[in-house]
Amino acid sequence: MDVTFTENEEGETQNQDGEDGDQQRDEEGEDEYAEEDVNAGKEDVNAGEEDVHAGEEDVHTEDVNAGEEDELSRENGDTEFIADDAKYSNKLAASRPNSGSGSSTRSSIAKQTAFNDSNSSASLRKRHVRDRMGRNALHLAAEKPHDPGVFEQLVRAAGPKMLAERDASYRTPRDIARSLQHHDNVKEIDFYVCSLAAEDKVDELRYLVLQGYTDLFDAEDADGDDIFAVADKNQRKKAAVMLQEASVYEERREWMNRAITVGSLPHVQYIADAPDVIIGRDTKGRLPIHLATLLERKDIMNFLANKAPVTLSVGDNLGRTPLHYAMAVEGVEEVAKILIQAGAKRTIKDLRGKMPSFYFMKRDEIIQMMNELYEQEKKQ
């Protein structure tokens, strides 16, 4: 499976006004940011009627700015490992559905996804922003029940990109709907995914696979057929072949993560012969180079960084690049040096507006991820 690196997905932007100025401002605002990060989740969930009046404004002013910066970055030619979003978003329905007068959440989401005045997927992408907890409009919509047809159209308008994005707890919109037992929302997501196979939309399916969307293989259509059967019964040979390849890819990705965890460079090099494995995400939104950096596997980092330099600018589920991780590890000097020499940029910001230098002082999040990996390793 080939894939083209084209645009910056995670709201990662480069600040050309100088690293020193931004770094100073970032450090001066550490206490303020830290307090905002702790309360960000509750503020978003309890926004209520404020979201309705907010209209097309994002949940956070910083996120709106991040969206604008993201557009600017794309104009400046920033690269990323996903294909053109134009391939992945379906057109909105010709008319706006009547979502009822008692649902502020539905009204807010409708505005956020350009469901009110425009029927173009391009408008949806332009307004596509994520909050400080990594959630997009579809995450928020998945939290609530909806009138018949409303969530279906939101899913189709959002497309694979929003569907595959993970929040701070590594959850996709489907994960959220399932955890809250909104079974109708789960079904609509699965129906949409199966429709991609039925319509032989191989690029969209490939995108989901590379984004670590493993629920792809659990999806069933209205007849109860899984996605493999959907491709077969609709005689979609390209989709059927791609899905079979995706199953093999999933195994390779697990082997890659395992090889990095145990620090086996020869195994990493062998598995990397299938290039998609290097640029594909796991179920936590990380690329292999994120994992190698987190575990300080220097020889593996050097190999991955030189084999696919573009991954140095790709963020995780919260837009953190490998260099963001490097600033929080014990061997920061050696680890960061490997990434910077390979081309990592020190001015890229994550979804919270933090540059890598921020995590040199505020290491808690990265340390927590390390501890999670160590605990996982003990269980295996």
**pLDDT single digits (tens) 269-284:** 999 998 899 999 999 9
Q: What is the pLDDT of residue 27?
A: 44
Percent of the chain with pLDDT over 70: 66
- Work out the average pLDDT over 138-150: 96
d(CA 170, CA 376): 15
pLDDT in tens, 67-77: 434 433 333 33
**What pLDDT, on a 0 to 100 scale, did the predictor assign at position 276?**
92
Question: Would you call 224 helix, strand, or coil by DSSP?
Answer: coil
Assign 314 to helix, strand or coil. Answer: coil
Q: What is d(CA 185, CA 251) in angstroms, rounded to the nearest whole number? A: 29
Could you tell me the two tokens for 268?
């990493």
DSSP 82: B
Confidence of residue 232 (pLDDT cuts 50, 70, 90): very high
Query: Crossing angle, helix 237-262 and helix 202-210, to 10 degrees?
Result: 10
pLDDT given for residue 118 in this prediction: 37
Q: Which residues contact 144 (CB under 8 A, 6 or more apart)?
A: 103, 105, 106, 182
Percent of the chain's residues with pLDDT above 90: 63
The answer for 224, left when phi > 0, alpha when psi is -120 to 50, beta otherwise, is: left
Q: Of how many residues is the chain composed?
A: 380
- Phi/psi for 233 (5° steps) reads -70, -20
Q: How far is CA 44 from the centre of its chain?
A: 18
159 phi-psi bin (left φ>0, alpha ψ -120 to 50, beta other): left
The model's pLDDT over 182-217, given as tens digits with 9 standing for 90+, comes to 999 999 999 999 999 999 999 999 999 999 999 999
pLDDT at 64: 35
- Mean pLDDT across the stretch 351-368? 96
Average pLDDT over residues 331-357: 97
Distance separating alpha carbons of residues 253 and 127, to the nearest angstrom: 32
* Contact indicator for 19, 346 with CB cutoff of 8 Å: yes
Q: Helices in 211-331 by DSSP H: which ranges?
A: 227-233, 237-262, 265-271, 276-279, 288-294, 298-307, 322-326
Mean pLDDT of the chain: 77
Q: Where in the chain is the domain with CATH 1.25.40.20?
A: 252-379
Question: What is the pLDDT confidence band of residue 379, given thresholds at 50, 70 and 90?
Answer: confident
As a whole number, mean pLDDT of residues 30-37 equals 41
Domain 252-379 CATH superfamily: Ankyrin repeat-containing domain (1.25.40.20)
